[in-house]
Structures are given as structure tokens and as C-alpha cells.
Structure 1
Amino acid sequence: MNLKPTLIIAVALSILSLSIWELYWRSQTDHFKAGLEDDRYLWAKERAKVETATTQDIVLIGSSRTGFNFNTHVWEEVQGIKPINLSTDGKPPGPFLDDIVHNTSFNGTIVIGITPVFWFDKANNTWWKGAQKWVDHYHDETYAQKLGYFLSKPLQRHLVMLTSSELKFYNDLDLKSLINRIYIPGRIEEERMLYNFSYHDEDRNLIMFPAMINEPNFAKKIQYVWSGFLPYLPEYETIKDDMPEIFEYYRNVINLFKARGGKIIFVRHKSEEEWNKHTKRMLPREKVYDPFMKMINCPSYHFEDYEFMSKYTLPDWSHMYYTDALKYTKDIVTKMIEDGHLQSYKN
């Protein structure tokens, strides 16, 4: 029996089906974009740059607000040097600071974006362990893993159908996510499941989808997820006894870094009052942030103190839209240079 025609037809139908599938998702331009998945492999590639970084270099660490709000291309235009972007979506920066201090000789400048619920938390909690897995991956990554990542990059860059994330957003396009979107009575209601609302460029800058400002109902889906857990954040009185341990841990790490000539600058990005009222209830500035900054004696920029940091409206209450982030980055880098905390390397 000649199977050759059958094979040709099967291959042709597969290519046609995949092409139609890809074209369909490409038509959803406000919600999807082809690009590298921001996973531990891409982060490890950026982390490797710290090994040869000099005293002139800048390393950015922080959670998603740092990824959304700082743009490394604008930063380079203003200061003359492009930061190493180690910000991470949905992960605390503590393990990354610890890794840089204890596992490298870097003594340049680290800019840390502060999301209080991520920063002022004890090490080895669930979030911390998730970030530590990325650090461990960087140090343990095999040649086979590096090769696999290298071979997957061209497909990720050009095929929207491969959109996925380690965070498992509800609207990822992997098979598991597609199955999860099938309505089944009793399944978790769709509105409480977090949608991906951004993509990133090759420098790991997070860029918010246009739908977040063009489609108010889409932004409300994200707000609804935040409103599902924010009211359950604990009161300060229930966690205040943890603060001395947290402060002391960071004090030791920061002092080690400063002792070898490094500098750390802290940035408390804006959150809207719908989010911030819960942060203030759990971690009031006058009892946590301000005493911490006084103790470590590092430059600090808090959005409540600067008009240029607080003037933007955040579509999801927590992150800046792309065009605002460009202006915000220019303003804050300019301010840091004016204050003498950064040096300009522009010709």
C-alpha cells in the first residue's frame, strides 16, 4: 500500500490548520503578541551579564511594577548605559539581591523596586521559593537546557500560538490553558482567574497590552482579581513581630554590598488607592518603609513624595501603561542623576 499520498495530505492539512490557528490569534492584536517567554531561561541569560558587569553598570531588580514602569531603552538614552534587567513578574526581589551579593563580585549600582507585600516578607515563604528556583536554575542550568532554549527562540519569536507563561495566565495559548477555558459547571469562575495583560521585549521590559486602556472591561478583569485577595491581607498588628527579623536580614545583605563599594537605590512605585489602602493597612509607611530606609541609609524615591512619580493613572491599579512608563523612566533617571545617585555616561 502506497502511504506517500496519505502522508503528504496529512502534512498539508497540519500545516494549513496550524496556519489558520496562528492567523486567528494574530488577529487578536490587543491581547496577544509573539515573543520570547519570560521564563527562567531568559532571566538566566540576563543574569549572566552580572558576572562581567563593572562599577558603571546598573542592575534592576524588583517585581512586576519595576518591569512595567522602567524601560531600559529610555534609561540608556538618559544615562548612557543600559541596565541589566532582572525584574521579575510575580516574584520578590529578595533572592536576586541575595544571589548578587553572595555569588558575584559586582559592586556597581542596584536599583530595587519595592512592592511592600513582596519586599517586607520573611524569606523562604512561597513567593521567595518561587524566585529562588530561578536563581538555582541559573547556577545549575545544563548544556542540554541551554541548547533547547536556543533552538526554541526562533519559534517563540514568530509564533503567537506558543504564548505561555510559567505564571499560568488564564489566557495563555498552551493546551492546558485552552482546556481550562472550556466552561464546566463548578469550575472556578472565569472572572477570578488572572489574564495575561502584557508582553515583553528582548530586554525583558514589560509592555501592557493596548486592551488595558482601549477595553475598560478587560482592565476590570484584572482589577477584579486584585480585589479578590487584597482585602485579606493581614493587619499590621498581626505581622509586626516579623519586622525586626526581616529588617535585620536585609541590613546584613545590604551592608555586605555597600562594604565592597556597591550602591543601592530604592524606588517605591505608585499603586492606586484601591490597592494602596490595603498596603497601608498591612505595612504602614511610618512604621515600616520609613524606619527601614532610615536604618539602611540608602537613597529612596517614594511615589508619595514626588509629583512626577504619582501623576499617572494605572489601568489595573498597580502597573503603568507603556507610554507613561517611557516618560516616568526619563523623569526618574534624570532625577537620580541630578541628585548625584547616578552618573551620566552620555557623550
Structure 2
Amino acid sequence: MPSSISSSDETSSAQPLRAGFVRLTAADRPGVAQPVPVRDIPVQPWRWIWIGAAVLALLLTGAWEWQWRAYGVTPGYRNSNGEWAMQRRRIDQGEGGKTVLIGSSRVLFDVQLTQWQRLTGERPIQLAMEGTSPLPMLEDLAADPNFKGRLVVGVAPLLFFTGYAYRGDVVPYTHKQTPSQKIGNWLSMHLIEPWLAFDDPDFALATVVKRQAWPARDGTHPYIAVRKLADTGADRDTHMWTKLQTDAGYRALARRIWAQQFHRPPPPNMDTPAKQRTVVDEQIRRAVVAVATLRARGVQVVFVRPPSIGPFHAFEEKVLPRAQTWDVLLRRTGAPGIHFEDHPQLRGYEQPEWSHIAATDARRFTTALVPLVEGQLAPAPPARLASTKP
């Protein structure tokens, strides 16, 4: 039955016959109410349009990949929350008795898993995370009865004793990771990451656009975000990106990025000596509780302070002196510690941007570190430390 405002007859009779029209409008139906618009789909060579679009997409993707390979980037694995979660789940899947590494980027970049395995016969589980205090990971492991192994805790003063956790969301992410996220991460690791160099957050188009030399507002000094510093393997075996050694301009950029914090005012929660002591004490208190829980379960814990040099080390000692941080941590936790300043074999490595050991030296550093760690932990079985050659 025709409605009071329009009908199929009216629609068909009012439809203009002009070629290529887009839709019927009120102008096409004087005195007739506007019905639901009707759109013609013009006849097009859709097959060739789709082929052309696919070819263009492949060409643009290839050009973007070529651009970054020419810059020195190689395909590798992303240090994503999903890939950290894969390593963390190993503890609950039957590997809870292994040696686990936690800490910040120095433990992640400087300690080489393959060399550790060569020296001890065991490949540690790498759970260090860049820009992040290891305390969330320490507390997570303390709460997990499945973990009964040995724990190496890296201490970067500016992160450990302030509680700063740039990637701190990785722990709750791991415990709430959905099946679709697990599948997506698996697909990424097997189908994308090993083949495409540009698949790195530092080379995302939005990131590249954002860091262009846009005009700054008067009186402002834009903060330069940390750039790519490392290459990562499938089980998070990581080393510093060799570009920091071979490219003087990129090395200078990395140093300039670190230097930004040397002259910035302290955060509001640490802008007085009293506030700073409160923050430091809270981080040490958290460590004391977690270490006590772990040791009650039989877990051996050792703290490691990897090396830093130059202006970076000077800044660390200025704002968070060893006597007020590291020494207090060891005294209150009762755990052993290895500080690079106390061991000549942990000093003298190339550190292009003052904070991390170059890839060519990281294996030697691991060779020097492992016997010290083994000496502080439970007695090693006979197979351990079979070789100390790099």
C-alpha cells in the first residue's frame, strides 16, 4: 500500500533519465517528499582498479622498507608486551626453576643470552624491560609460587630508586592477555617481524611525521623522544644497535637525548631532599618485601649494577648517590650485590651513548659477569662455567 508521502510509483516516475546521476534529490521531484536516496553504481573496470590499488600498495610498502634498510635497519623482533608475556609464561609452563633476568635496558642490552648459555649450559629467561624499574617484575615473581629458580636483578639508579616504569603495564597485560592478542602476537612474530625492517615503533609513519623539524612555539624546547637503540631476538636476546657505533651523527643524537634530563628540574614528587628520601625508601621497602618472599621459597637473588660512564654516570651519582641508594638496598634486603665499580673486569667497555655496552663488547661483558653472578648464587653444578672464553 502506498504511503501518504511517497510511493514506488512516484519514485520510479520521478527518476531522471540523465546519465551518470549520483542520486535523486528534491530538485528532481518538485512537490514530492524526499525518499531514501538511491545511488547508482556506475560500471567500472573493478578488477583492474583492485589490481592497480594492490600494486600501488606494494610499491609504497617496498619504498618504505627500502628507505629504512638503507638507513641501516634490519628485520628483527619487536620488544612488545606480547613477546615479554611469552617469556614470562615459560615460568608457569614448567621452567620455573631457571635463572631469570629482570632489570632495565642495561640488563636487556648488555647481558647476552647465548654467551650465558655457553658458559653455564643454561639459557636464562630475559624479562628485563627498557625504561622501567624492575620492581613490578620482582613483585610479580615473588607472588608466583611456580618460580623457584634464581633471580638476577639489574639496578639502574634513575629507574630503580624512583619507581619509574615506562613499560610497567607489561605485567598486568600478561595476566589479562586475551586469546586474540596471543594469536595476533604469534602471527606478527612469524609472518611480519622476521621479514620487514620497518616494523618497529620508531619507524611508524605517525612517529616519523611527529619528529620532523616543525616550528616550535615561542619559549618552548620540544623534548626529543628516545630513538631506536637495540636489536632484539626471538626470545628477547638483545644487543645494542650497531648504528650507535658506526654512525657518529646518530650516536650524538642518542647522547643529546640522554642529556635532556641532566638539566631538567626533578619531578614534583622528588623536588626536595625529604621527598626524594621518601620515594627512595618506598622503592627499597618494596624490594625488601619481595626479596624476603622469594628467599623464603628458596629463590636465590642477586642485584647487579651494570656500568655507565661519562656524563650519564656523573648525573646518576649526583642525584642518587651510591651510599644513599645501592648500599642501603643491599643492607636492608640482605641480598648480595655486584657493582661494576667494585670489579675491574666489569669496566672499560665501549659505551657509545654512555649508558649501554656496544654490541661488540656485550659478549665480553657477559663473560666477565657470569662467574661473579654464579659466585653469589647457589653452588653451581659441575657443568657450569665450563669455558670462560668469549
TM-score after normalising by structure 1: 0.88
Which one of 43, 58, 68 corresponds to residue 99 of structure 2? 58
Matches within 5 A, 1:167-182: 172-182=202-212
Cα deviations across residues 62-107 of structure 1 (Å, max 9, x unaligned)? 0000011101111000011000000101111000010111134312
CA distance 1:243–1:189, change in 2 (3 Å): closer
Aligned residues between the structures: 333
Whether the 8 Å contact between 1:236 and 1:283 is mirrored in structure 2 is no
Whether the 8 Å contact between 2:101 and 2:127 is mirrored in structure 1 is yes
Post-superposition offset of 1:189: 6.5
Whether the 8 Å contact between 2:97 and 2:147 is mirrored in structure 1 is no
Which one of 279, 290, 299 corresponds to residue 262 of structure 1? 299
Post-superposition offset of 1:201: 1.1
Q: State the SS of the aligned residue for 2:356.
A: coil
Which one of 47, 64, 68 corresponds to residue 25 of structure 1? 68
Cα deviations across residues 277-301 of structure 1 (Å, max 9, x unaligned)? 2211222112221122122221211
Matches within 5 A, 1:296-311: 296-311=333-348
Cα deviations across residues 219-270 of structure 1 (Å, max 9, x unaligned)? 1111111111123456883412444433322211111110110110110011
**In 2, Cα distance between the equivalents of 1:197 and 1:243?**
28
Q: Which amino acid aligns with 1:24?
A: Q
Post-superposition offset of 1:338: 4.7
Whether the 8 Å contact between 1:95 and 1:132 is mirrored in structure 2 is yes
Q: State the SS of the aligned residue for 1:88.
A: coil
CA distance 1:131–1:217, change in 2 (3 Å): closer
Q: Which runs of 5+ in 1 are unaligned?
A: 165-171
CA distance 1:288–1:9, change in 2 (3 Å): closer
Which residue matches 2:169? 133
Task: Give % identity.
Answer: 24
Whether the 8 Å contact between 2:105 and 2:130 is mirrored in structure 1 is yes
Bigger RCO (CA 8 Å, 6+ sep):
1
CA distance 1:236–1:292, change in 2 (3 Å): farther
Q: Which runs of 5+ in 2 are unaligned?
A: 1-42
1:36 aligns with 2:73: no
Q: State the SS of the aligned residue for 2:322.
A: coil
TM-score after normalising by structure 2: 0.79
CA distance 1:250–1:329, change in 2 (3 Å): same
If each structure's helix is expressed as a fraction of its own residues, which one has the higher value? 1
Which one of 279, 291, 307 corresponds to residue 316 of structure 2? 279
**In 1, Cα distance between the equivalents of 2:121 and 2:222?**
45
Q: Which amino acid aligns with 1:146?
A: K
Q: Which has the larger radius of gyration?
A: 2
Which residue matches 2:352? 315
Post-superposition offset of 1:209: 2.0
Which residue matches 1:13? 56
Stretches of 4+ aligned residues off by more than 6 angstroms:
187-191
Which residue matches 1:186? 216
1:46 aligns with 2:68: no
Matches within 5 A, 1:94-133: 94-122=135-163, 127-128=164-165, 130-133=166-169
Q: Which amino acid aligns with 1:183?
A: A
Cα deviations across residues 311-343 of structure 1 (Å, max 9, x unaligned)? 113111100011211011011112333556462
Q: Which amino acid aligns with 2:309?
A: E
Which one of 258, 273, 291 corresponds to residue 226 of structure 1? 258
Q: State the SS of the aligned residue for 2:372.
A: helix
Whether the 8 Å contact between 1:222 and 1:316 is mirrored in structure 2 is yes
**In 2, Cα distance between the equivalents of 1:270 and 1:38?**
22
